[in-house]
Chains A and B, each alone.
Chain A
Amino acid sequence: DAKTTQPTSMDCAEGRAANLPCNHSTISGNEYVYWYRQIHSQGPQYIIHGLKNNETNEMASLIITEDRKSSTLILPHATLRDTAVYYCIVRSWNYGGATNKLIFGTGTLLAVQP
C-alpha cells in the first residue's frame, strides 16, 4: 500500500470548514483513498473513501486531485465533537482479498476551537 503524509496537527474554528490534506504521491491505479478518524479513547470511525472522483456523504467531502497524488478531506461545518485524529489511508484491492488490512500512519490531530 502507498505511503501517506499528513500534517501532525491543525486547528479549526467551530462552525468553519476544516480542510485536512494528505499526500500520497506513490499511489497506484488500483489504490483507493480512505479516511478514518479516532476520537479520544474510542476506536477509529470510517468517514469516506474514493478512487478518483470527488465524493460526498453526510459526514464529509473528499477531493482527490486529478493526478491522484494528494487529497483533501473537508468537514464543512466543524463542531467541537469533530476534534479527533484523522487518518488518511491508501488501500489496494484485488479479488484475492489479500489486502484487507488497514495501514494507519500517525494521522492529523484536528483541534476544533470554540
Chain B
Amino acid sequence: GAGVSQTPSNKVTEKGKYVELRCDPISGHTALYWYRQSLGQGPEFLIYFQGTGAADDSGLPNDRFFAVRPEGSVSTLKIQRTERGDSAVYLCASSLVAGFEETQYFGPGTRLLVL
C-alpha cells in the first residue's frame, strides 16, 4: 500500500519568506510526527499529533514554526520568516497509534534550502 508522502520533495526559498510543507500519512494512522534532519546529523523531533491535536510540541525550535492537522489526516508544517539555519530535510512519520511499541513509518522528506 501507499506509504507516507511529502510534498514538495525540494523547496528553495529566500530568507524571510514563508513556507508550507505537507505530509500525507498512511491511511488510518492516527499519530503523525515531524522531524528535522541537518546534514550529518540524525533526525531531531519537532512535534507529534494524536488525531487533530498536538500531543507534544516540545521540539519546535521557536514560534516561527507551527504545524496543523485539522482533520486528523494530512498535516502541514509552517515556517514563518525563514532563516538560513532552517535549511534541512524535514521528515514526516506516521504510526497506527501513538503508544506502546508502535512503529513509525517515515516519508522521504522535504529538502528545504533557504538562501
Contact = CB atoms under 8 A, between A and B. Distances in A.
A49 B102 CA distance: 10
A44 B56 contact: no
Given A43-B93, A44-B91, A104 B44 contact: yes
Interface stretch (A11-19, A62-70, A71-79, A93-101): A93-101
The number of chain B residues touching the other chain, given as a range, is 20 to 34
A28 to B, nearest CB: 16
Contacts of A43: 4, 91, 93, 106-109
Interface in A49-63: 49
A44 B89 CA distance: 12
B52 to A, nearest CB: 16
B1 interface: no
B45 A101 contact: yes
Contacts, number: 61
Interface residues of A, number: 22
Contacts of B50: 97
Interface stretch (B35-43, B65-73, B76-84): B35-43
Contact of A102 (B45, B101, B107, B108): B45
A43 B25 CA distance: 13
Interface string A77-110: 0000000010100000101011011111111000
Nearest to B42: A104
A106 B35 CA distance: 14
Given A49-B101, A93-B101, A95-B99, 13 more contacts: A43-B91, A43-B109, A44-B91, A45-B106, A46-B105, A93-B100, A100-B99, A101-B33, A101-B48, A102-B43, A102-B104, A104-B42, A106-B42
Interface of A: 32, 41-46, 49, 85, 87, 93, 95, 97-98, 100-107
10 contacts: A44-B91, A46-B103, A93-B100, A93-B101, A95-B99, A97-B55, A97-B98, A100-B99, A101-B45, A102-B104
